[in-house]
Structure 1
Amino acid sequence: MTDALADKLIDGDRAALARGITLVESTRPEHQARARDLLTHVMDRTGKAWRVGLTGVPGVGKSTLIERLGGHLTAQGRKVAVLAVDPSSSRTKGSILGDKTRMGALAVDRNAFIRPSPSAGSLGGVARKTRESMLLCEAAGYDVVIVETVGVGQSETVVADMVDVFVALMLPGAGDELQGIKKGLLELAEILFVNKADGENDTRARRAQRDLEAALHLFAPVSPHWSPAVLRGSGLTGDGVEALWETVKKHRQALDSAGALHAKRSGQQVRWLWSMVEERVLQSFHADPDIKTLAPELERAVADGRLPASEAAERLWRANQN
C-alpha cells in the first residue's frame, strides 16, 4: 500500500501528496509507521527544492505576499508548495483552513499546492510534522517550498532551522517601533521585507527600511557568507516581489559558492534527528505507568511549595529507571 502511495506521490498526484501529509501529521502509531515507510521510499527524490521560511506579525500581509510570490514563480514554470501553519481551532484542535481562503488565486493554480496544518499547540504554533511534509512536497516535484509561520511565540526559531533562507515581513512605521521588534527576529532574518509600501505608506516604508538597515549593523549576520538585505514592496500591488525572489536567488548563490548550503542542511538534519529522539523519549516517559501514578502527587507538592522542582524531577526519573 505504501509503495503504491509513494509511486503516485512521485508522479505528482496531488491527492496522494495530501494523503501522505495526513499520514505524517497523524498521531496514530499505525499511521506513523506508514509515514516513516513512505518517507524512506521517497527520500532519494528530496533535497532539490528551494526552502523558504516566511514570518511576520499577524496583519503584516503574509498571505497576500505569498500569493503574489507564488503566482510570480508559477508563471516562470516553477511548482510551488505552501505549508501554511494554521492556528488550531480551540474546540476541534484541527486546522481552521484560513489560508486557503486568503490565497484564493494560488489555491486554484495547478502548479501550486497549499496545505494548512494545525499547530496543535506545538512550539510557537509550528506543526510538529512540517519537516516531513516539506520532504513529501519535494518528492512530489515542487521545487519551491514556502513555510509560513503564524508569527507568534518562538515559531521563527523552529522554522529558521528547517529552511535555506528566512524572510521576515515588517510593517511600515517600524522606525517608530524598533524597540518593540523582537531582537531574536533580527538575529534570524536573512532578508527583511517592508510590506504594504504603497500609497500613503510609501514614505513610512522608506523610513522603516533605512532604520532596519541601521539596526542590522548591531547584530552578527546568520552566515559569514551573507549580509542581511532589507527590501520594501507591496504584496497587494506586486511591487518588489520580483526583487524579493532575486534576493532569495542571490542568497542561495552566495551560500552555494561557499559550500555553506550543504553544511547548513546537514546540520539541520542532525538537529532534527535528535529532536525526534527527544520527543520519543518524552512520550515514553509520560506513558510509563509509574510516572502516571506518581506525577500528580509530585506536581501538587511542587505547586504548593512543599517540594523543590529539582527533587520532584529526580524522584520521577528514579521511578522511570526502576
Structure 2
Amino acid sequence: MKKSNKSALSEKAGVSKGTEAHLAPLGHRRTLKRKKQNPTALAQRILDGNKSALAQGITLIESTQPNHQNDANCIIASCIPHSGKSIRIGITGVPGVGKSTFIESLGMLLLQLGKKVAVLAVDPSSSLSKGSILGDKTRMSELTKAEAAFVRPSPSGNSLGGVARKTRETIVLCEAAGYDVILIETVGVGQSETAVHSMVDFFLLLKLAGAGDQLQGIKRGIMEMADSIVINKADGDNLKPAQLARTEFERAFHLFPPKPNNWIPKVLVASALEDTGIRPIWELILEFWNHTQTNGHFKRNRDAQNKHWVIQTIEDRLIQDFYHSPGIKDGLEKTLLAVQNKETSPFAAAERLLEVFKTKK
C-alpha cells in the first residue's frame, strides 16, 4: 500500500468500525514462540496497516529476548522512514480524573473526523500494582470496536526508562501503520509525566473541580509542562465549581514565564461522560499545531526529543550492561557490605566497581 504524505490534521468524513472489539493483544508472545517471524515481511504488513502485524511488532519491541530485540530493531529501521507524520498528544491526570472516558470521547470524535487513532499508555507500576491504567476496557468499549482505532495497554516492566523507551519505539510503528493521531496516557504519578512529555507534541492535564483548593498539591513542573488544562466531569452540580476552577487555573498560568514556543496555555471545561466540550479541545490542539508549525517550534521540539532519546537509550544500555557484567554481579554485594562496615567510602567503592566493569566487559 502506498503511504500517504498527507498531514495528520486534514479531515475527511466517516467512521469505519470493525465487527468485533480490537484491543491490541498482549498474547502474541505465544505466537512468536510457535512461529519464527520474518521481520521484513512483518514490517511490510505493518506498513500496509495490518493491526495484527502491528501488535506482533510491538510484542517484539517489548520482549527481552535477544533474538526478538534484533527482529524489533529491523522492523523499526524499516518503519522509521514512514513515521513522524502524526500528532502526538500526552494525556495525564491523577487516578479517578476520568482519563479512560475522556480518551474514549476524544477518540470517537477523531474517528468521526476521519482520523486513525492509536492509544498507548506509560505506567511502569502496572505490572506490580495491577493498576487501572487502560485496565477497565468497558470505559473504552466503543473505541476498541473501531477499525480505525488501535489500543495498547502499558508494556510490562518496573523501570520507567524501559517502559518509556518501548512506548517511544511503539509510536514509530503506529505512525508507520498509518495512525495519524497518537494518544499517550500516563498514570499521573511519579516521573511518568516527564517521560511522556519528552515524546509528545501537545501535553494535556486533566483536573477535577470541587476537591478543595484547586492549586493545592499540584506540582509546579506539571503546570509548566501542560499546554492545556481540562477541568473534566464538568456536569450537573460540578459545572459551576468547574467554571471557578477554570478561572483559578487561568490566573495561575499568567504567573509562569513564557513557554519557548510562545504558546499561552488555555484552560477548558468538559464532560467526557456527557460528551460535551470535547470538540473545543481538538480545535485547541489544531490551533497549537498551526502555531508551532508557523514559528518552527514543532520541528525543533521533535529534533530535541530525538536527541534526548538517543542519549537516554545510551545511558539505559550502559546501566544495563554494568549491572549484568559478571565482575559486577560477583563484587557488588561485597563492596556494598564494605561500605556499610566503613571499610571504604561510597565514592572509592564506586570507582573500584567502574574499574572492574571497564576491565571485564
Preserved contact between residue 50 and residue 143 of structure 1 (Cα < 8 Å): yes
Are residues 320 and 230 of structure 1, via their aligned partners in 2, closer, same or farther at CA, if it must alter by over 3 Å? same
Q: Provide Cα deviations, 1:254-282, integer angstroms capped at 9, x if missing partner.
A: 00000110110011001101111111111
- Normalising to structure 1: TM-score of the pair? 0.94
Give me the whole-angstrom Cα distance separating, in 1, the residues matched to 2:134 and 2:194. Answer: 23
Q: Which moved more, 1:94-103 or 1:230-239?
A: 94-103
Q: Gaps spanning 5+ residues in structure 2: where?
A: 1-37
TM-aligned CA deviation for residue 97 of structure 1: 5.9
Secondary structure in structure 2 of the residue aligned to 1:280: helix
Letter in 2 for 1:161: S
Percent identity of the aligned residues? 49
Deviation of 1:105 after TM superposition, in Å, equals 1.1
Superposed CA offset, 1:181-221 (max 9, x none): 11111011011111011100011111111111111122224
- Which stretch of structure 1 is more off in the superposition, 131-140 or 287-296? 287-296
Q: What residue in structure 2 maps to residue 90 of structure 1?
A: 128
Q: Is the 8 A contact 1:85 1:119 kept in 2?
A: no
Structure 2 length-normalised TM: 0.84
The verdict on how the C-alpha distance between 1:126 and 1:237 changes in structure 2, with shifts beyond 3 A counting, is: farther
Q: Which residue of 2 aligns with 1:188?
A: 225
Deviates more, 1:10-19 or 1:176-185: 176-185
1:209-263 CA deviation, whole Å, 9 max, x = no partner? Answer: 1111111122224334211111111111111100000001111110000011011
Q: For 1:234, which of 271, 288, 293 is the aligned residue?
A: 271
Matched, 1:288 2:325: yes
Which residue is equivalent to 1:222?
Answer: 259
Q: Describe the superposition over 1:281-313 as per-residue Cα deviations: whole angstroms up to 9, x where unpaired.
A: 111111211111110112233455654322221
Which residue of structure 2 aligns with residue 45 of structure 1? 82
| C-alpha RMSD over aligned residues | 2.0
Q: Which moved more, 1:209-218 or 1:153-162?
A: 209-218
**Within-5 A mapping of 1:196-215:** 196-215=233-252
Contact 1:125 1:153 in 2 (8 A): no
Is the 1:25–1:128 contact (alpha carbons within 8 Å) kept by the matching residues of 2? no
Are the aligned partners of 1:55 and 1:62 in contact in 2 as well (CA < 8 Å)?
yes
Aligned with residue 269 of structure 1, among 298, 306, 309:
306
Q: Does 1:57 align with 2:90?
A: no
Partner residue in 1 for 2:350: 313
* Alignment coverage as a number of residue pairs: 321
**Aligned partner letter, 2:196:** V
Q: What is the CA–CA distance in structure 2 between the aligned matches of 1:96 and 1:194, rounded to whole Å? A: 19
Paired AA for residue 227 in structure 1 = I
Contact 1:96–1:118 under 8 Å retained in 2:
no
Equivalent residue letter for 2:170: S
Is residue 95–residue 117 contact of structure 1 (8 Å, CA) maintained in 2? no
Letter in 1 for 2:127: S
Name the SS for the 1:39 alignment partner.
helix
Query: Per the alignment, in what secondary structure is the counterpart of residue 83 of structure 1?
Result: strand
Aligned residues of 2:161 and 2:316 also touching (Cα < 8 A): no
Aligned to 2:72: 35
SS of 2:236's equivalent?
Answer: coil
Query: 1 CA distance for matches of 2:171 and 2:314?
Result: 20
Corresponding residue SS for 1:82: strand
Distance 1:137 1:106 in 2: 16
Distance 1:38 1:149 in 2: 26
Q: Greater shift after overlay, 136-145 or 309-318?
A: 309-318
Query: Which residue pairs with 2:7 in the alignment?
Result: none
The aligned residue for residue 102 of structure 1 is: 139
Give the secondary-structure state (helix, strand or coil) at the position aligned to 1:51.
Answer: strand
| Pairing of 1:2-81 with structure 2 (within 5 A) | 2-81=39-118
CA contact (8 A) 1:17 1:136 kept: yes
Are the structure 2 counterparts of residues 209 and 126 from structure 1 closer, same or farther at C-alpha, using a change threshold of 3 Å?
A: farther
Residue 107 of structure 1 deviates from its aligned partner by 0.6
